[in-house]
Homo-oligomer: A and B are copies of this chain.
Amino acid sequence: MVACGAGWRLLLVLSAAGFGAVGAPKPPNILLLLMDDMGWGDLGVYGEPSRETPNLDRMAAEGMLFPNFYSANPLCSPSRAALLTGRLPIRNGFYTTNGHARNAYTPQEIVGGIPDGEHLLPELLKGAGYASKIVGKWHLGHRPQFHPLKHGFDEWFGSPNCHFGPYDNRARPNIPVYRDWEMVGRYYEEFPINLRTGEANLTQVYLQEALDFMKRQQVAQRPFFLYWAIDATHAPVYASRPFLGTSRRGRYGDAVREIDDSVGKILSLLRDLRITENTFVFFTSDNGAALISAPKQGGSNGPFLCGKQTTFEGGMREPAIAWWPGRIPAGQVSHQLGSIMDLFTTSLALAGLAPPSDRVIDGLDLLPAMLRGQLTDRPIFYYRGNTLMAVTLGQYKAHFWTWTNSWEEYRQGIDFCPGQNVSGVTTHTQEEHTKLPLIFHLGRDPGERYPLSFASTEYLDALRGVTLVVQQHQKTLVPGQPQLNVCNQAVMNWAPPGCEKLGKCLTPPESIPEKCSWPH
């Protein structure tokens, strides 16, 4: 909610970089470019062989590359909730307890969403005078109380759920597209996506929304927070006509090329407006490439194991580029272990704000890493549902549980690790290793193929460090109320606000709350 709770206060802090000081210039604009299902290996600068991302590669050359940057979950909604709250999904409620170690998200029938008690980044940034806009996918719940404009954003253009479809508007409504408080149409209706050709104009629309917003804030002389959460690389992948068929990588590559071109145009506008030195830009993705959709509709996780839905590196290691000419030194690589949750804390630091002090914040302020090359020890936790599957500390990753998906699913052709099979690691039964975790050295073995010998000194030393960190984490962990347990056909997008003006209100079925089914 926008209103500040009693338990915490917005604090002006003098961040290490000196922003927010009395009399200082207005805090920098913040531009978070969040991709959907884009993999670590999808950019030229990360080694994609077709090398079709000149604008993003240039962004990296002018900024800082993070090769060890992680999402907070191998699935979209929890990862996005973590970004905006700075907290692990297990804390902010974006998980399920319906089964052991199950991934969950926010399909149309989900009843839950972002709890009111969570403080979202745009809410907090209001305290420093920011105007905030989300362009694209919200994914933090679509019922009225979860609307992004009730959680700090001033503007929204985009949709609450994935662009799956088309649906028949009887068993299941097509997903609405909102402008601010009201829907302005639905996917496959007013906002067409041609599943056969892959043509859709959406990235161009999202680009214009971003450019327009930035221009308006510049005129208004307000610092802005723009959360550009586009989804062309999520199946069904799409591109607009000028990009279709232009990639060496097929349709997925067409989508990447259009995104790369759009990022180029966004950075160009910042140059044209002469605000590059007052605008912090960060590019990353919500989870690993969806290898289940490969090769035509899925991306690449480079040398890493498996993809989306898994807690192997391919599921959670992300492309990440920070760009802020004149502040972040050009052409640098940071080996800081980074998390999507750090974007919360870092953005607050940029605004001269302290994070909420009444709750655990998992995000780290990356400004010391970005501005001065400092490295901070911190763990990366890999959860599936409420199960801590793995943790990375330094270069060591310990798996407490291994699972890809069930044999039943796998036999049906659902494969999160196509072409990959590491014996005893990419298991199709949930294997517990909590007593004796599998530990990998991610520097020597980024592909998680060679567990350290249990008898080695290296293993024992790594285990000691990991055990301490995990004990500390679990001792203080207070799980949030799980939001992704209950589903109900009646809560789908039958009659979003504004539907009456468009004559597009649909009649919901009888309300029957059910336990959501999360198969993996």
Residues of chain A having any CB pair with chain B under 8 Å = 41, 44-51, 61, 65, 67-68, 247-250, 252-253, 294-296, 300, 302-303, 305, 333, 335, 395, 418-422, 441-450
Contact = CB atoms under 8 A, between A and B. Distances in A.
Given A41-B302, A47-B303, A300-B303, 18 more contacts: A44-B333, A45-B47, A46-B47, A47-B47, A47-B48, A47-B302, A51-B67, A51-B333, A248-B395, A250-B443, A250-B444, A300-B446, A418-B450, A419-B421, A419-B447, A419-B448, A420-B421, A421-B421
Contact of A441 (B48, B250, B300, B442): B250
A300 B303 CA distance: 8
Contacts of A447: 419
Interface SS, A side: loop
A240 to B, nearest CB: 20
Contacts of A395: 248
A450 B48 CA distance: 18
13 contacts: A41-B302, A47-B302, A49-B68, A50-B335, A250-B443, A252-B444, A294-B445, A294-B449, A295-B445, A302-B303, A419-B422, A420-B420, A421-B421
A294 B446 CA distance: 11
Contacts of A50: 67, 335, 443
Nearest to A440: B295
Contacts of A443: 49-50, 247-250, 253
A99 B4 CA distance: 77
B41 A47 contact: yes
A295 B248 CA distance: 32
Contacts of A248: 335, 395, 443
A295 B305 CA distance: 15
Nearest to A446: B49
A79 B265 CA distance: 45
Nearest to A423: B419
